[in-house]
Amino acid sequence: MPANNPPAHTMRLCPTCDGFPVVAVTTSTRRRPDGTLPTLAATCPDCRGTGHAPARPARVLVAR
């Protein structure tokens, strides 16, 4: 594992995209002459296309 990646236990799947950070969105109902649909790649704005989000901080319980 490269040194610049955070440890696996500090990462979790992005709750917004559920780990599918980039999707293809069709831009028209008409097909091109070769039979393909024009598409755009849409990236998850919360994880910026990585599919992971930082781990939540642990809850701290304070006794009164």
CB under 8 A, 24+ apart: contacts of 43-46: 44/14, 44/16, 44/17, 44/20, 45/16, 46/14, 46/15, 46/16, 46/17
Q: What is the pTM of this model?
A: 0.55
* pLDDT at site 6: 58
* pLDDT at site 62: 74
Per-residue pLDDT 10s for the chain (64 aa) are 455 665 555 668 888 888 888 988 888 778 888 888 888 999 998 888 888 887 777 777 777 6
Beta carbons within 10 angstroms of residue 46's beta carbon: 13
